[in-house]
Structure 1
Amino acid sequence: MTLRFASRLDNVETSAIRELFKLLGKPGIISFAGGFPDAAMFDVEGVREAANAALTEEPGAALQYGATEGYQPFREQIVGLMAAKGVQSLTPEQLIVTTGSQQALDLLGKTMISPGDKVIVEGPTFLATIQCFRLYGAEVISAPTDENGVIPEALEQLIAEHQPKLVYLIPTFGNPSGALLSLERRRQVLEMAVRHQTLVVEDDPYGDLYFDAPPPPSMLALSDSVPGSRDYLAHCGSMSKVLSPGLRLGWLIAPAELLGKCVMCKQFSDAHTSTFSQATAAQYLKAGRMPATLDRVRTTYAARSKAMGEGLRSQLGDAVRFVQPLGGMFIWVQLTGARGQETDGNALAKRAIEQGVAFVPGTPFFAQNPDTSTLRLSFATADIARIEEGIARLAKAL
C-alpha cells in the first residue's frame, strides 16, 4: 500500500535533536543536549496544592470543555504576570492561551504563511520554528547575528529586499545562542516594523531565567513608547521553562484581527487548551508561589552556567569560543580549530557520544548557510559535578 502524503511534508524532516535522543540510551551518558528544564526544580507540592484547589473551588469548570480563547482566570493571571514585566496596557481579551508556545508559532504559521512566502529568522534560531514555518511552505531566510542578537541594520536590509510576511526573534537569552538583544536594538526593531509594516514575532520563553540583573523590557513592554508598533507585534509566552512543560501552557498576544484568525484555527485543531491545566496554573499563580520558584531556578541555573563556562575555559581553552550567557539555559560554542583540533560540530558530536557526553551540533539551528563549527550545550539539567565530568569528557573527544 502506497500512501500519498501532503506535498508540504517534502520540505521538512524530523528534528535532529529528537533523533539525537535515540542515541542517549547508553548507560552513564551525560547529556547537555536537551532544552528541558530540570525536573528537580519543579514545585511539585505547589502544583499539587494548586490542582487540589482547582478541583475544590471550580471542579466543573476545571474538568469541562472551555473557551478556545482560554480559561478566564488564567488569562487574568497572565495579564498580571505581564504587568509585573512592564506591559501595562494588556487586557485578557488581547491574548489567547495555547497548548505550549509551540502552538502559538503553529497558529502564526497557519494564519500568516502561504506557500512561497518569505519569513526572516535569526541565524541561528529555534529549530522547531524553522520546521514549523517550512511546513506551511515558507522560504525561511536567516538574518545575521552577533553576541548581542540580531543585527538591526542587516535585518532591515533583508526586510527591504524580501518583504517578508513576518520576522521571528528570540530577543532574550535566545535558543540556541543565549544572546540578549540590547534595549537600543529592541527599539530599532520596533521602529523598522512600523516603517516596513512588517509583523515581528517576539518569542519569550526564557525571559524570566536571568541570573543577575533583569534583562531589558520585552519589545511588547516597549511597544507603548514606539507609536504604531503594537499593530505589528505578536508576543509568545510560556509556562514550560518556569513552572512545568507537562502542563503545556503558553499564550499569544497579538493584534485583534490576527488573534481572531488564530482563535479560528485553534478551534479546528484542539478546540481549547486543557482547562484543568489552566485552572491549576491559575491557582498556582494566585497562591503567589512563582517568585520563590523563579528565585530557586535562577540561582541553580546561574551556578551551573558558571561551572560550564569555567570548565570550557579550563578544559578546552582556545579550542572553543563562547560568550558567557546572562540567563537562559544554553551556551553557544564555536570550535576555533586551535592547535589543529576539531572544527566540525557534527563530527565532534559522534565522538562525544563515544566518550559518554552528548550535545547538539549547531548546524540544524540555521535556516541558511549553517555554521558547522558551532554546538549548543545546555546546563539546565546536569548538576555541577556532572557538568564538570561532562566537559572533561568533551575535551577528550576533541
Structure 2
Amino acid sequence: MTVASVAALASTPGSAPASVPPLAARARAIGGSPVRDILAVTARPEVINFAGGLPAPELFDREGVAAAFRQVLEETPGRALQYATTEGEPALRERLAQRMAARGLPTNADDLLVTTGSQQALSLLATALLDPGDTVLVEDPCYLAALQVFGLAGARVVAVPGDADGPDPEALADLVVRERPKLLYTVPTFQNPTGRTLPAERRAALATVAARHGLWIVEDDPYGELRYDGERVPWIAAHPDARDRTVLLGSFSKVMAPGLRLGWLRAPVELRRACAVAKQAADLHTPTVNQLAAARYLADTDLDAHVARVAAVYRERRDAMLTGLREALPEGSAWNRPEGGMFLWVRLPETYDTAALLPRVVQEDVAYVPGAPFYAGEPDRSTLRLCFVTQTPEEIGEGLRRLGRGLRGVA
C-alpha cells in the first residue's frame, strides 16, 4: 500500500475513529483512596475533619526549615538545583544512619535509600519483590495505601488474623506454610488505622516465624517518634532473627513536614540495589534541594526537641478526644487508647454501618473515615478511624458533639 493510499483511507468520509486501547487491567481494578475522596467532600472550612491523616500545620518548624533551604541555596546553589544520585545525598543518609544507630539499630549510610516519601518506598519494594499473583500478608485492618500498592502490583493480599497486640504469630506461621507469601507488611508502632503498638514479645515472635519459614518483613514506621506514653519498643529490624530479612521504612512527613516528600528505606544490599534500579525508572532521584535542606536542618536544629514539642500538643489533643468519646458515642461502643501516633480506632455496636452513616454525619459538619476500606478480608463495618492531631482540644470537643448528633437515634 502506498503512502497516498494510506492517506486516502485515513480520510475516507464517514469512517468512525477507532477507540483507543484500554487502560491496564491493574489500573481498571484498583480504585482511588476513600480517605482522599472523603477529604475532597469535606473540604468546607466549617467541617471539623477527623478523617485526615495530616500533621498539624501550625506546628511545622517553618523558620527552621526555611533557614535550611536559604542556607543550602546560598552556599551550594549549583549542587542543590542539580541532578543527584539515585541512592540519595550522602550527607542526609549519614545523618539518618546516625539517628537509627542511636536508637539501637547499627546502620551506615550505604544501608539506606532515600525515597520521595515512604509511600514511594512501598511502591519500589512492590516493583522489586512482587510478580503478579504473588501473595502478600498484611495486618487486619491495614494501612489503606499499602493495600493500593500491593493491588496495583497484581499481588494477592491475605490478612493475618490477630488481636489487640497485632498479627497472631501462630496464624502467621500457618499462612506462610499454606500460602507461600513473599512478604509480611506491618506498621507495628501506632498503626494506621488502629493506633495499636505491637509489644516486644510479639515482634520477636514475628521475626522468628520469618526466619524459620523464609519471609520478608516490611516494617513501616512513619509514626514511631510521636510517643506520648510508655517506653519505646525496639524495631523488628533490630531483632537478630530479622536483620537479614526486614526492610525498615521511615519518613520526615509526620515529624518535619509532609510537603518535603522525604522518606527512606533500610534494606539488605541485594534488595536495596533492586529498589534503586526501580527508583531510577520512577523518578531518577528524590529532589536534591529537599535532601540537602533536610540534612542541614538535622545539622543545625535539634529535631528531637522539636518532636517533643509537637508530641506534647498531640498528647493534649489525644486526651481531649478520649475525654469526649464516651458522651459522643452510642452505648456499647469501644475504643483504644494509643500510646502515640495520630489515630483512635472505634468500634460501634454491630448494628451500625459507618460507611452508610457517614453522609448523615457530614451533614453535622464533622467527618471520620469508615473502617471497612482498611480490611483486606471481611470488613468490620461498625468500625471507624478518628484522627486527633489536626484540631485543638476545643475543636475536638465541638466535633465530638456534632458526631454524637449525627449518630444519635441510629438503631
Query: Normalised by the shorter chain, which TM-score bucket?
Result: over 0.9
2:265 to 252, 266, 279: 252
Q: Residue 22 of structure 1: SS of its match in structure 2?
A: helix
Distance across 1 between alignment mates of 2:44 and 2:62: 29
Distance across 2 between alignment mates of 1:218 and 1:277: 27
1:317 Cα offset (Å): 5.5
Greater C-alpha radius of gyration: 2
Distance across 2 between alignment mates of 1:214 and 1:58: 41
Give TM-score, length-normalised by structure 1.
0.95
Structure 2 equivalent of residue 344 of structure 1: 353
Q: How does 1:126-205 map to 2 (within 5 A)?
A: 126-205=143-222
The letter for the 2-side match of 1:208 is E
1:63 to 81, 103, 107: 81
Give TM-score, length-normalised by structure 2.
0.92
1:20 Cα offset (Å): 1.0
Q: How does 1:1-398 map to 2 (within 5 A)?
A: 1-87=19-105, 89-220=106-237, 222-223=238-239, 226-227=240-241, 229-316=242-329, 318-337=331-350, 343-398=352-407
Distance across 2 between alignment mates of 1:316 and 1:266: 45
Q: Which moved more, 1:91-100 or 1:211-220?
A: 211-220
Report if aligned partners of 1:105, 1:129 keep a CA contact under 8 Å in 2.
Answer: yes
Q: Residue 331 of structure 1: SS of its match in structure 2?
A: strand
Q: Residue 230 of structure 1: SS of its match in structure 2?
A: coil
> Structure 1 stretches (4+) deviating beyond 3 angstroms?
none
1:27 Cα offset (Å): 4.5
1:305 Cα offset (Å): 0.7
The letter for the 2-side match of 1:364 is P
- Any gaps of 5 or more consecutive residues in structure 2? 1-18
The letter for the 2-side match of 1:10 is R
The letter for the 1-side match of 2:381 is T
Distance across 2 between alignment mates of 1:205 and 1:173: 9
Distance across 1 between alignment mates of 2:45 and 2:275: 44
The letter for the 2-side match of 1:120 is L
Report if aligned partners of 1:118, 1:140 keep a CA contact under 8 Å in 2.
Answer: yes
Distance across 2 between alignment mates of 1:307 and 1:157: 41
Deviation sequence 1:180-229 (CA, Å, 0-9, x none)? 00000111111111101100000000000000233211112x23xx24x2
The letter for the 2-side match of 1:349 is L
Report if aligned partners of 1:172, 1:215 keep a CA contact under 8 Å in 2.
Answer: no
Q: Which moved more, 1:319-328 or 1:53-62?
A: 53-62
The letter for the 1-side match of 2:374 is F
> RMSD over aligned Cα, in angstroms?
1.3
Q: Per the alignment, do residues 114 and 58 of structure 1 end up closer, same or farther by CA in structure 2, a change over 3 Å counting?
A: same
Report if aligned partners of 2:329, 2:348 keep a CA contact under 8 Å in 1.
Answer: no
Distance across 1 between alignment mates of 2:20 and 2:386: 41
The letter for the 2-side match of 1:315 is A
Distance across 2 between alignment mates of 1:160 and 1:383: 48
